[in-house]
Amino acid sequence: MFHYSLEHMDKIEAVLAKARELIFEDGTMVIRIPVADCEVFDIYRENWVQLDAPRHQVISSRKGIELLAKKMVLKLFMLTMTRPVFNLLEANYINLAFL
């Protein structure tokens, strides 16, 4: 499980390839990462809290995840958005802190 950790790595394809080697043939890999094509990014753009540079090496889109899964020969069976309330509250808090 990559629980908000993959975005901190600079060689994502190599990491996913190694993870694929380590799981069983019918195993499941769970990847949770922030994605740029979300409502909160549309509101805050360059002030979006999940950009979190320089700690976040990459912020993908849902389409980017689909393309990466295809390239890595990983079967993508669910792609959902989570934590929208957290992102919105945190973005508002940080933006207010810098006013």
**CB < 8 Å & 24+ apart, contacts of 17-20:** 17/72, 20/72, 20/74
Using alpha carbons only, what angle is made at residue 27 by residues 25 and 30, rounded to the nearest 5 degrees?
140
Domain that holds residue 82: 2-97
Mean pLDDT rounded to a whole number for the chain: 76
Q: Give residue-wise pLDDT tens across range 45-92.
A: 777 767 677 777 777 788 888 898 899 888 877 776 665 555 555 555
| Domain count for the chain | 1
Which positions ≥6 away from 68 have C-beta within 8 Å? 12, 13, 16, 60, 74
- Contact predicate 49/90, CB 8 Å: yes
Range of 12-26, 28-42, 74-88 with top mean pLDDT:
12-26
